[in-house]
Structure 1
Amino acid sequence: MKRVLITGLQGFTGHYMARELEQHGYEVWGLGDVPSDNPRSVVANLLDLPSLKEAVAKAQPNYVVHLAGIAFVGHGQPKAFYDVNLVGSRNLLEALAPVAAGLACVLLASSANVYGNLQEGLLSEAKPVEPANDYAVSKLAMEYMAKLWIPKIPVVIARPFNYTGVGQSDSFLIPKIVSHFVRKQSTIELGNMDVWREFNDVRDVVHAYRTLLEAKPVGQIINVCSSNLVSLRGALQMASELTGQTIEARVNPEFVRANEVLKLGGDNSLLKQYVSEWAPRGLHETLAWMLHSAALKS
């Protein structure tokens, strides 16, 4: 059986995850707190355990991809990170326990934010975790909580590094840059232009998630990353070359972290043991896709 339940199906990553799975023969069900016309959609709130149990019982999944959560680090209500990312995830696992016999794999999306901002270079899963904000703490707490369920439920934890794509909110860095170029803005406010980070493609991330579901490395925590670093200055230059436009970048001190690590990315050695032919797209290709899509809509 290849029935998969995706939480957060209507979110940015959820759409791409559904498409990836459907293209590989899965029957995709979605779980969310808003009614949908999709007959394979079940309605439940992650903080309402009875409705969650009812929804899971209806879906009877063989696989689960848990994407639902609050992902924007600058979200204004810190308590919400813990309510949704930690308590909501625990409720989901409790709701899955009665159908555990039919589960092949449950993938929980954590975050590379758990490593913090103080370690330099390409970070492996063996590096110490040093979360630096409520979002990161809530994700790390979710990881520890999930380990309590591994004897009963086949859980795999993914730690994605930065990724982007068409449909991501402009509150994130790359969509903000794309938006400014499409609207032909003359200036943009950014942080430190000389930091190097990963900016991976959402299509590659969901490919990795699907492959991990199929590999079933239960109990593992696995970085989802490319190890390809690009500077913020370089990202802006790529967008300029693709559009033929020039935007003046102004450094806003509010966007600059104290003692910021200049080069930070993920070591994908463990991921490549499970994801065959891992050849992630470069940022240039992703930017071209995003700029083209945004221009068509403008």
Structure 2
Amino acid sequence: MKKILVTGADGFIGSHLTEELVRQGYSVRTFVYYNSFNSWGWLDQSPKEIKKELEVFAGDIRDPFGVKEAMKGCDVVLHLASLIAIPYSYHSPSTYVDTNITGTLNILQAARELNIKKVVHTSTSEVYGTAQYVPINEEHPLQGQSPYSASKIGADQMAMSFFRSFETPVAIIRPFNTYGPRQSARAVIPTIITQLANGKREIKLGAINPTRDFNYVKDTVNGFIAMMESENSIGEIINIGSNYEISIGETAHLIAEAMGVPIEIVTDEIRMRPEKSEVERLWADNKKAKEIIGWEPQYYGKEGFKKGIIETAKWFAIPENLKSYKADVYNI
């Protein structure tokens, strides 16, 4: 069995990925953000049979000493730890450089020194900015339209530089917009669902015309595992996307339909991105993922998206889960 370190394991995607790795029999060490509450984030809600198999390391991805200590004895690092909220990056860009770029550098430097067999670095579709052509393949130009996306471009380039300079075995996974249970309300789908689940029918949103390529979290998790297991992924940047495009407005109405309630969308100016920072269109070309790592989405097209939305809404409808969200407050 490979020993795998998952950074950002306490987060949305990281917790789902950690659980699936344990189910598949991998030995997993989780890197969670140190806090005085001894909280493991979403892993606190994992089944007991999962938690008892985990080795938990609490630290800070910005600290090179703790990062190297966490990586000792591991074969593979799945690096998900990052700051991801775009609005927060507008007023605190320095934290994104420290976490996303320097944090990634810490992983890469330790991987080089410890002879880690593989590092899977997490990118984002936001690095492409507004699509210059669709569907977006991995050759599409990169555009830093927010401090967040700029920091992720920097992190991606740092990862590839270590592959080219030192032959560090790096693979870059580039997920498009992931959604599902546990996602933060800073994202649009939980924002809509939590407002509706709390009885609201006038839903506050920002821009509704931009389109996104949404991916159910189970598909994204399978993408990470395929990237990790494939011998062909080293030195590659690979999109994980559904190859299906839908607008934010259409998404809101689809969610309302799935939840069986009427909806009226109200524009909330505080939720609007600056004009030149808004990414107007994202639509993934996923051919490379199919060809190199054998990954294909299971939740694809409109019907797959509806299926994922229904599963997500069911999770949020559970009172114990819903109470963790503040539907009346704009979450940046």
Between 249-258 and 201-210, report the one with greater CA deviation.
249-258
Q: CA deviation at 1:153?
A: 2.0
Could you report, residue by residue, the CA deviation over 1:173-194 in whole angstroms, capped at 9, with x for unpaired residues?
Answer: 0000110110110211223333
Whole-angstrom distance in 2 between the partners of 1:277 and 1:54: 32
TM-superposed CA distance for 1:108, in Å, is: 0.4
Percent sequence identity over aligned pairs: 28
Range moving further from structure 2, 28-37 or 220-229: 28-37
Q: Are the counterparts in 2 of residues 107 and 157 from structure 1 also a CA contact under 8 Å?
A: yes
**Secondary structure in 2 aligned to 1:265?**
coil
Aligned with 1:188 (options 179, 184, 203): 203
Q: Which runs of 5+ in 1 are unaligned?
A: none
Distance 1:293 1:68, change over 3 A: same
Is 1:251 equivalent to 2:270 in the alignment?
no
2:76 to 48, 53, 63: 63
Q: Note if 1:225 corresponds to 2:254.
A: no
Counterparts of 2:210 and 2:113, CA distance in 1: 47
Alignment partner of 1:171 out of 186, 196, 215? 186
Inter-CA distance 108–245: structure 2 relative to 1 (3 Å threshold) = same
Residue 114 of structure 1 deviates from its aligned partner by 0.9
The question of whether the paired residues in 1 share the 8 Å contact of 2:223 and 2:240 is answered with: yes
> Which of 147, 157, 163 is the aligned partner of 1:144?
157
Question: Corresponding residue for 2:291?
Answer: 273
Cα distance in 2 for partners of 1:274, 1:24 equals: 22
Letter matched to residue 128 of structure 1: P
Matching of residues 46-61 of structure 1 within 5 Å: 46-57=61-72, 60-61=73-74
Structure 2 matches for 1:180-219, cutoff 5 A? 180-216=195-231, 217-219=233-235
What is the aligned partner in structure 1 of residue 144 from structure 2?
131
Matches of 2:247 and 2:147, distance apart in 1: 26
C-alpha displacement at 1:252, in angstroms? 3.3
1:291–1:136 CA distance, 2 compared to 1 (3 A):
same
8 Å Cα contact 1:235-1:283 kept in structure 2:
no
Query: In the alignment, what sits opposite 2:123?
Result: 110
* One-letter amino acid of the structure 2 residue matched with residue 51 of structure 1: G
Q: Deviation of residue 71 (structure 1)?
A: 0.8
TM-score, scaled relative to structure 2 = 0.82
Distance 2:158 2:227 in 1: 20
Q: TM-score, normalised by structure 1?
A: 0.91
Measure how far apart 1:239 and its partner are. 1.6
Q: How many residues align?
A: 294
SS of 2:204 mapped into structure 1: strand
1:45: how far off?
1.9
Contact 1:6–1:31 (CA under 8 A) maintained in structure 2: yes
- Which residue in 1 is equivalent to 2:306? 284
Retained in 1: the 8 A contact 2:226–2:293?
yes
Q: Are the aligned partners of 2:129 and 2:142 in contact in 1 as well (CA < 8 Å)?
A: yes
Q: 1: CA distance between counterparts of 2:244 and 2:236? A: 23
Contact 2:9 2:30 in 1 (8 A): yes
Residue 295 of structure 1 corresponds to: 317
Aligned residue type for 2:255: A
How far residue 123 of structure 1 moved from its aligned partner, in angstroms, is: 0.7
Deviations 1:63-96 (A, max 9, x none): 1100001011111411000000000110111122
Taking the aligned partners of 1:33 and 1:241, their CA distance within structure 2 comes to: 37
The answer to whether structure 1 residue 264 and structure 2 residue 282 are counterparts is yes
Give, as a single letter, the amino acid of the residue that structure 2 aligns with 1:65: L
Contact 1:20 1:210 in 2 (8 A): no
Aligned residues: CA RMSD? 2.0
SS in 1 for 2:30: strand
Deviation digits for residues 25-44 of structure 1 (CA, Å, limit 9, x no counterpart):
21111113425686611233
Deviation at 1:199, TM superposition (A): 1.5
CA distance in 2: counterparts of 1:261 and 1:29, whole angstroms:
35
The letter for the 2-side match of 1:81 is Y
Distance 2:16 2:158 in 1: 27
Runs of 5+ unmatched residues, structure 2: 41-50, 323-332
- Looking at structure 2, the residues matched to 175 and 274 of structure 1 have their Cα atoms a distance apart, in angstroms, of 32
Write out per-residue CA displacement over residues 228-262 of structure 1, whole angstroms, 9 at most, x where no aligned residue.
Answer: 11222221222222222112102335526637675
